[in-house]
C-alpha cells in the first residue's frame, strides 16, 4: 500500500489552487509530506510574445480550442521530471465518469498528471493519442478543468493511509462499502421536536450496528438502486 501520492496539474490558471491546497485535510497532508502537488503553468510551454495556448476551431463554430503543441510539450517535460511516470488524465465532460473505484485505482498509480482544459476544450488529438485516459466529474459542463482537478485530488488523497485521522471513516463511508452511508446524528438528542432515533441513544452496539446496516441499505435502495444492483452483480 502506497504511503505517499504525487499530483501534477497543468493549467492556465495556477493561482486557482492556492487556498484549496492549503486548507483542511489536504493542506495538512501536503504540509506533512504525504501528498505533494506540482502546479504547472501551461503558458510556460507556449510560443510567441503572447504565449498563446488557444486558436480558432477548424470548421468554424463558437469559442476557442486549446492548441495541442504546448500541452504535448508540457506533458513530455513533466513526465521526465520527478521519478515515477505519472498516469496522464485529461479532464473532460466527454471522459469516463469519476467514481470511488477509479479514485482507488489512481491511488495505486502513485502519481497523477491532471490536464485542465478551458474554452471549448482541448484539440482532440491530445485525448486520442497523448493522454492515458479522459475523465469527467459528472454530466454537466464547467468553465474549466481546475475545479475537476481539485475534486479528483481530494477524493484520492483522503484514501491515502494517515490522511484521514481514523481509517474507519474512509472504509465505512458512502461507496467504499458499496452502499450509501447510514444517517449520522449528533447532540442535542432533540432539536425543534425532531428526535434522534432511539436505537442510537440506547448504548446497545449490536443493535446500533444492525440499525445502521439496515438504514444504509434502505437509503441506497431509495436513492441509488443502481449501487445495490452492482453489489448483486
Ligand atoms: C467549457 S468546457 C468544454 C466543454 C466541451 N466543449 C464540451 O461540450 O464537451 C472547458 C473545460 O472544462 C473542463 N470540464 C468541463 N466540464 C467538465 C466535467 N464535467 N468534468 C471534467 N472536466 C470538465 C474540461 O477540461 C474542458 O476542456
Task: Write the pLDDT tens digit of every residue in 169-186.
Answer: 888 889 999 999 999 999
C-beta of 118 in contact with ligand 1 (< 6 A)? yes
Do 87 and 191 have their domain in common? no
- If you take atom 18 of ligand 1, which residue's CA is the nearest one? 93
pLDDT of residue 83: 82
With beta carbons less than 8 A apart as the criterion, state whether 9 and 137 touch.
no
Do 80 and 182 have their domain in common? no
Strands (DSSP E) found in 98-170: 111-115, 133-136
Ligand 1 atom closest to Cα of residue 135 = 21
Stretch 198-218: mean pLDDT, rounded? 98
Rg of the Cα atoms in the chain: 21
C-beta of 70 in contact with ligand 1 (< 6 A)? no
C-beta of 121 in contact with ligand 1 (< 6 A)? yes
Asked if the structure places residue 102 within a domain, the reply is yes
Percent of the chain with pLDDT over 90: 92
Asked if the structure places residue 165 within a domain, the reply is no
Above 90 in pLDDT, residue 28? yes
Kindly report, residue by residue over 80-102, the tens digit of the pLDDT.
997 899 999 999 999 999 999 99
Do 203 and 149 have their domain in common? no
Strands (DSSP E) found in the chain: 5-11, 35-41, 54-55, 65-66, 87-97, 111-115, 133-136, 190-191, 194-195
Ligand 1 atom closest to Cα of residue 140 = 19
Cell 505533494 -> residue: 36
Alpha-carbon distance of 109 to 112, in angstroms, equals 7
CATH of the domain at 208: 1.10.1270.20
Do 203 and 125 have their domain in common? no
Amino acid at each position: 500500500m502506497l504511503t505517499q501520492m504525487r499530483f501534477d496539474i497543468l493549467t492556465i490558471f495556477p493561482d486557482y489552487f492556492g487556498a484549496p491546497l492549503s486548507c483542511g485535510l489536504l493542506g495538512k497532508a501536503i504540509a506533512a509530506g504525504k501528498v505533494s502537488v506540482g502546479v504547472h503553468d501551461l503558458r510556460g510551454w507556449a510560443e510567441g510574445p503572447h504565449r498563446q495556448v488557444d486558436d480558432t476551431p477548424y470548421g468554424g463554430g463558437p469559442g476557442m480550442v486549446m492548441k495541442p503543441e504546448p500541452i504535448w510539450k508540457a506533458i513530455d517535460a513533466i513526465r521526465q521530471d520527478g521519478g515515477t511516470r505519472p498516469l496522464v488524465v485529461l479532464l473532460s465532460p466527454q471522459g469516463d465518469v469519476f467514481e470511488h473505484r477509479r479514485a482507488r485505482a489512481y491511488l495505486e498509480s502513485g502519481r497523477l498528471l491532471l490536464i485542465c482544459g478551458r474554452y471549448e476544450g482541448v484539440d482532440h488529438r491530445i485525448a486520442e493519442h497523448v493522454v492515458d485516459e479522459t475523465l469527467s466529474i459528472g454530466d454537466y459542463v464547467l468553465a474549466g478543468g481546475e475545479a475537476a482537478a481539485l475534486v479528483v485530488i481530494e477524493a484520492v488523497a483522503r484514501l491515502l493511509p494517515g490522511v484521514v485521522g481514523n481509517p474507519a471513516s474512509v472504509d465505512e463511508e458512502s461507496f467504499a462499502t458499496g452502499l450509501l452511508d447510514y444517517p449520522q446524528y449528533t447532540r442535542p438528542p432533540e432539536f425543534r421536536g425532531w428526535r434522534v432515533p432511539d436505537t442510537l441513544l440506547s448504548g446497545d452496539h449490536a443493535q446500533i450496528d444492525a440499525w445502521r446496516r439496515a438504514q444504509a441499505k434502505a437509503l441506497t435502495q431509495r436513492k441509488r438502486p443502481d449501487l445495490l444492483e452492482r453489489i448483486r452483480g
